Chains A and B, each alone.
Chain A
């Protein structure tokens, strides 16, 4: 273990040993302060990871410090709206990923189980609910969730609202199944109502200039994300530990912030460097590249990853790389929405939500998958079938059959993103290795 990992490991152990909200706030206060934060950022191997982690700590710290109104938000919300209302978003589902990352998910899951959360509920929600019960998360003023794709937050957030005694500040956005002129209007009016209602409770008026600004930043993020995605159509060599599945926050909680723009701009320039070096190395083996290319680029198999990954320590991606396979794109990295219009923020955000491939018929998701397979010249698709996620696993059969008809192999990899006791390491390894053997033999 290097020096950097040592620091991070020490922090994890400290939190594991002092499991309470105040302690987490204290640690975040230290790590998130100047000049500790930039130094902490330097402990990451790549610029992409560095800026992501700086932005993450900064924003979580803001939620914990209790100086600003905090709103819990479910994953598929238009976060531009929350930022425009001066709310600090806190995403329990994403934070549940952190509970696995810092090694406390066993405790949060145990707590959830003791509180009657059923084991067939997805662990993102179980772990988050356990953390709420253990008083590990910051106190919210509002809880906002949507019915997009996932039905779990509607229930768990309400339980949280009761626990915090703020049932009146629980908001559910009802997202229609189809994308039509009427449904856009219906959804836009909900977004506007919620904004007015929350502003009133905060004793102010909806500030349309603020909306304009967050929409502008959201579009700027979109611009860089599209550029990153474009580069990735060719890119096969990546910065150490780069994993597209880590960049959930810029797409969600940070949408409409400068931070998301900074993260993606930096990813773009870093990946562009790598692409140039990749091109240099394939033309001339002895180019002055300072990136060691171990991989046989010509033979690298391109993998598309669907849904999420395990957030506890694992070596899945190392195994893939060691077998000449590279995840070149992820479902969660899609820029699926059109540019937003600052003059019509509510309609734009409604359209963004309704454009999500997970909304409505599974045909939408399927069409998006086929498009990714085509643009990224995919050799094999891995669907991580996270335990309890009905909306994702429910389409496994259609995905597998459709891709087979398009001559693309699919691995449905059963596992659990958070609970390592609910997936067997040996089984995951055999499945991945067996799948790679299949796709490596396909074209040879």
Chain B
């Protein structure tokens, strides 16, 4: 007996196949497989592809998946899904698979960041989302990494190499990119620029955390949770330990698989 969660994000689409001996969404399941693929131009196609690949990887036939929940910004209009549920509920449920009692989830994805307040049992009680623009999200970091010609995966180690930073004054992704390019032109140490960029994102997220009220334990999800520089800066600024799931990018899809009935 399997369920599937598909998280159609702006950057990547994830599918998780969950083995369920018990249909109760609070009962523990077993992750049989998961895939992460780029979303590309069509969210419908990406969703189907992720679902099929996850089935293949798990050697489960599509017919054995009795329920599919879609989540993520592209969750509407996924024809093969039985239901769509927002990322808010899915991330809240997903973290329960790894940690118990989580009270705050910080989810930073490709084009939005969310802070979710939980009841400690996997249900959301309040949330905040960033506004319309890509400032403070994964895409922002992707653009900057490209300008710096440094892989995002390396931000974490670079972050620890220096304590100094240069402030990035623009919040707009386009302006910040030219700011970075000009800083590189001036021969400023790239490590310092990276530190500055990371803090500019983290400050935006922290204002949301403060608005909603920080409660421990805290968990971070979404692709940007793989960016250790962001995690470290957040821990330092908030003064708390941040729990990270084994694969934070699939948290939404995993929660969706749990919520599939």
Contacts and interface: CB of A to CB of B under 8 A. Distances in A.
27 contacts: A409-B125, A409-B126, A414-B131, A423-B132, A424-B132, A426-B73, A427-B112, A430-B73, A430-B87, A430-B129, A431-B129, A433-B86, A434-B86, A434-B87, A434-B88, A434-B124, A434-B127, A437-B85, A437-B86, A437-B88, A437-B124, A438-B88, A438-B89, A438-B123, A438-B127, A441-B89, A441-B123
Contacts of B76: 429
Interface string A407-444: 00100001000000001101101110110011001000
Given A429-B76, A438-B88, 11 more contacts: A409-B125, A409-B126, A427-B129, A427-B131, A427-B132, A431-B129, A433-B86, A434-B127, A438-B89, A438-B123, A441-B123
Contacts of A441: 89, 123
Contacts of B112: 427
Contacts of B85: 437
Contacts of B73: 426, 430
Contacts of A424: 132
A434 B117 CA distance: 12
A423 B132 CA distance: 8
Nearest to B211: A397
Contacts of B126: 409, 438
Contacts of A437: 85-86, 88-89, 124
By CB atoms of chain B within 10 A, which of A427, A429, A431, A434 has the most?
A: A434
Contacts of B132: 423-424, 427
A91 to B, nearest CB: 30
The 3 A-B residue pairs with the shortest CB-CB distance, nearest first, are: A434-B88, A434-B86, A437-B89
A438 B124 contact: yes
B96 to A, nearest CB: 14
Interface residues of A, number: 14
Nearest to A441: B123
A429 B87 CA distance: 12
Contacts of A429: 76
A423 B86 CA distance: 19
Interface in B65-84: 73, 76
B109 to A, nearest CB: 12
Nearest to B122: A441
Contacts of A433: 86
Interface in A17-64: none
A438 B129 contact: no
B125 to A, nearest CB: 6
B131 A434 contact: no
Nearest to B128: A412
Interface in B116-165: 123-127, 129, 131-132
A427 B129 CA distance: 8
A177 to B, nearest CB: 29
Interface in B6-21: none
Contacts of A409: 125-126
B131 A430 contact: no
A426 to B, nearest CB: 6
Interface string B76-119: 10000000011111000000000000000000000010000000
B125 A434 contact: no
Contacts of B123: 438, 441
Nearest to A421: B132
Contacts of A434: 86-89, 124, 127
A302 to B, nearest CB: 19
A426 B73 CA distance: 7
A262 B160 CA distance: 72
Nearest to B212: A400
A431 B89 CA distance: 11
Contacts of A423: 132
Nearest to A434: B88
Contacts of B131: 414, 427
Contacts of A426: 73
A434 B76 CA distance: 14
Contacts of B88: 430, 434, 437-438
Contacts of A431: 129
B87 A438 contact: no
Contacts of A430: 73, 86-88, 129
A433 B123 CA distance: 14
A423 B88 CA distance: 20
A307 B135 CA distance: 29
A299 B76 CA distance: 24
A319 to B, nearest CB: 10
A437 B124 CA distance: 8
A414 B133 CA distance: 13
By CB atoms of chain A within 10 A, which of B73, B86, B112 has the most?
A: B86
A414 B130 CA distance: 10
B250 to A, nearest CB: 19
B236 to A, nearest CB: 27
A400 B76 CA distance: 29
A430 B86 CA distance: 6
Contacts of B129: 427, 430-431
A426 B112 CA distance: 11
A409 to B, nearest CB: 7
A424 B10 CA distance: 15
A84 to B, nearest CB: 46
Nearest to A423: B132
Contacts of B125: 409, 438
Contacts of B124: 434, 437-438
